[in-house]
Amino acid sequence: MNIGVDIGGTNLRAGIELGGAITRQHKVLLENKDSLSSTLSQLMDLIRPLTKYPVKGIGIGVPSVVNVDKGIVYNVMNIPSWEEVALRDIVQKEFNLPVSINNDVNCFILGEHRYGLAKKYNSVVGMAIGTGLGSGIIIDNNLYSGNNCGAGEIGMLPYRDSILENYVCNRFFEESLGTDAFEAHEAALRGDPHAIEVWKEFGKHLGAVVKTVMYTYDPEAIVFGGSITKASRFFKASMLDSLKDFAYPNSIKHLTLLLSENENIALLGAAALLGK
């Protein structure tokens, strides 16, 4: 049993992996983000009740670049006080347990590979679509983080007048409809024709992401996660249609596209950072 922790810009979540599921889960709203000491105190208070159980270690997913070897996190998204934090050493000192830290989307795809939809695949890419566009990569059954934990940042690649991420995240709906993806989904469900067209356009951009992943990694499967995937009925068809001009159609034929189903998959992946 390991503790899995998911650090987000809004919430902190933690739970214990047991038999491929999360138990004893706790969640708190992250407050006072400009204070390093306050946010660290919240994190310790979240983890502490779980350490009374016979856990072997603590795995933590963070929305940032991570020095995996040293457990240092840099410029954590939406937490301004976390510019450079030696998080592994801080948590190990507090609880006297082994600690492993990685990027949150890496934890997402590791969870899918160990416990979720991607268990049967040797190579798979995970894409988390929400506030931004993040990705994680499994190659030959191993998590690939790159030299600086920055591998797979497909969203940062140039695209049209900007970068891919700006066309495949919540920001796209803010600029296209003046609202967020949640409201855009609600509008589409009501039959709003403009919202439905915007979702179709979103699907075309997501297709460009899929093609980029295929040209760079050619995985067996891609797993999509994040809040925006709940609206898949409105963008799936246009996404698939946009793949028809892919240079290697046989590769697309053999590609499996999956939608994540487990809301705790990132916690499971964080716990899996420490192994069995």
The answer to whether the beta carbons of residues 237 and 197 sit under 8 Å apart is: no
How far CA 85 is from CA of 40, 71, 82, in Å, comes to 10, 9, 6
Query: Among residues of the chain, what percentage have pLDDT more than 70?
Result: 100
* Model confidence pLDDT, tens digit, residues 229-249: 999 999 999 999 999 999 999
Alpha helix stretches (DSSP H) within 116-248: 170-177, 181-189, 193-216, 236-242
Length of the chain: 276
Over residues 166-190, the mean pLDDT reads: 96
- At residue 148 the predicted structure's pLDDT band, cuts being 50, 70 and 90, is confident
DSSP per-residue letters across 63-118: SSEEETTTTEEES-TT-TT-SEE-HHHHHHHHH-S-EEEEEHHHHHHHHHHHHSTT
As a whole number, mean pLDDT of residues 105-114 equals 97
Domain locations along the chain: 2-106+265-272, 120-259
- Region 193-202 average pLDDT: 98
Q: How crowded is residue 57: how many other Cβ atoms within 10 Å of its Cβ? A: 17
**Position 77 pLDDT exceeds 90:** no
- Report the pLDDT averaged over residues 177-191: 96
| The two three-digit tokens of residue 252, written as one number | 């697309």
Measured CA to CA, the distance from residue 72 to residue 69 in angstroms comes to 8
If you average pLDDT over residues 129-139, what whole number do you get? Answer: 93
Percent over 90 (pLDDT), the chain: 91
Query: What's the CATH class of domain 120-259?
Result: alpha beta
pLDDT of residue 198: 98
Strand partners, 17: 2, 22
- pLDDT tens-place string over residues 260-270: 999 999 999 99
d(CA 178, CA 147): 38
User: Can you tell me the distance from the alpha carbon of 110 to that of 138, in angstroms, rounded to the nearest whole number?
Assistant: 7
| pLDDT interval class at 80 (50, 70, 90) | very high
- Dihedral angle of Cα 105, 187, 158, 68, to the nearest 10 degrees: -10
Identify the pLDDT of residue 276: 66
The CATH number assigned to the domain with range 2-106+265-272 reads: 3.30.420.40
Model confidence at 20, in pLDDT bands (50, 70, 90)? Answer: very high
- pLDDT for residue 225 is more than 80: yes
Residue 131 and residue 104 in contact, taking contact as beta carbons nearer than 8 Å? no
The yes-or-no verdict on residue 64 having pLDDT over 70 is: yes
CA distance 106 to 114: 12
Burial class (CB in 10 A: 0-12, 13-18, 19+), 193: exposed
Residue 115 has pLDDT above 80, yes or no: yes
Two domains, one topology: 2-106+265-272 and 120-259? yes
